[in-house]
Amino acid sequence: MLAGALGLAGVAAAFFLCERERFWINWVLWFLFLLTTGLGSLFLVALEHVVGARWSVPLRRVPETIAGLVPPMGAAALVGLLSLGTLYPWTSAEGLRDPLVAAKAGWLNEPFFALRAAACVLLWTVSYVVLVGGSRRQDQTGDPRFNRRARRFAPLFMVILGLTVTVTAFDWISSLEPVWYSDIFGVYVFAGAFLAGLAATTLFTLHLRDAGRLDGVGPDHLHNLGGFLFAFTVFWAYIGFAQYLLMWYANIPEEVFWYGERLHGAWGGILLALALLHFLVPFLILIPRDAKSRPRLLFGVALLMLAMHWLDLYWMLFPSVAGGPLFGWPELSFALLFLSGGIWWVRRLMDRGEAMPVGDPFLREGLEFRL
């Protein structure tokens, strides 16, 4: 609460004392960070229902709870619509003088942007209510029909998530520099979101396990979480490198300038840190089989991945408004406000019910899981 209060005071001061571009780019960065973490967790919940997994049933309440970040961050996204005239050049007459930007005016205009943002928030909220609200009600009723409803809805949610994450990536991130485009940018943002959701799920699973609230969750369950972290670390790196390699090879001016801004100076140093700490270090740590089930090691890797997800978003967003990295008291204030608020909200949701989906008929089978 103290950290949140200090953060709120700092954010309020930043609104009045800092450039509006700096204030709003921090707002967009932090709501995207928590939103993508929540969406990645909700995807993990839906994935369990799609494939009919049993081993993850004892852990499912954890990503369900972290997915609770989606509704409040959806509201934060709607507040972020106030940043359009400040951050996004396609909202000004001067920006539309570029013929490449003007050609996108049918998509990049404020009313349609706001409509897309509202539609995404609505779809995410409905999906959260269906996938998570039904699971919590099942704890009281024990009604197995929820599993059938969730299994039917989960494939539809996969489609919803694929479309809305792509729209979010194009609208909130790449349209900061509207000349640039990438066909797989939505896939890249999804890869980071799912990895962040996995990392957050791992952290809170280990926390609840140490607190004695996840009795029966053993090394084999942790091993599967570690395996997912390992696999999607490789997937994130593959998509990121593929995007860069294709643009470098084609050398089209409308594409390569975006990387040109982010490969030199301090931005290049951040990219090197991402390559090492978001891919190489976790990859090497998680290669051994026993590393995937060691709690302290998993905790450190998951925490590192969450930090690198934030840095990845920072590297994508901030060069559009700043000549070099900004790490000052405004950034610290936003970090205190959003992190303390997000952790408080997730812990509040965790304390409102059972740490496991006790009404799920497959819970016993999940607790008996062994590799």
CA distance 275 to 296: 23
The pLDDT assigned to 342 comes to 96
The pLDDT assigned to 279 comes to 97
The pLDDT assigned to 353 comes to 84
- What one-letter code names the amino acid at 268? G
The pLDDT assigned to 281 comes to 96
The pLDDT assigned to 371 comes to 83
Query: Tens of pLDDT along 22-76?
Result: 999 999 999 999 999 999 999 999 999 999 999 999 999 999 999 999 999 999 9
CA distance 238 to 283: 12
The pLDDT assigned to 142 comes to 86
DSSP E strands in the chain: the ranges are none
Q: What is the mean pLDDT of the chain?
A: 94
Q: Token pair for residue 142? A: 């024990």
Terminal Cα distance for the chain, rounded: 42
CA distance 222 to 212: 15
- Spans of all domains in the chain: 2-367
Q: Residue holding tokens 């998570």? A: 132
- Cβ burial of 275 (10 Å; 0-12, 13-18, 19+) is middle
Contact of 129 with 67, CB cutoff 8 Å: no
Q: Token pair for residue 20? A: 């509006």
The pLDDT assigned to 91 comes to 94
The pLDDT assigned to 306 comes to 97
CA distance 146 to 114: 34
Contact of 121 with 160, CB cutoff 8 Å: no
Residues 6+ apart with CB under 8 A from 34: 69, 73, 76, 338, 342
- Is this model's pTM higher than 0.85 or not? yes
Contact of 360 with 64, CB cutoff 8 Å: no
Contact of 39 with 157, CB cutoff 8 Å: no
Q: Per residue of the chain (371 residues), give pLDDT as tens.
A: 899 999 999 999 999 999 999 999 999 999 999 999 999 999 999 999 999 999 999 999 999 999 999 999 999 999 999 999 999 999 998 888 889 899 999 999 999 999 999 999 999 999 999 999 999 899 888 888 898 999 999 999 999 999 999 999 999 999 999 999 899 999 999 999 999 999 999 999 999 999 999 999 999 999 999 999 999 999 999 999 999 999 999 998 888 999 999 998 899 999 999 999 999 999 999 999 999 999 999 999 999 999 999 999 999 999 999 888 999 999 999 999 999 999 999 999 998 888 999 999 999 999 999 88
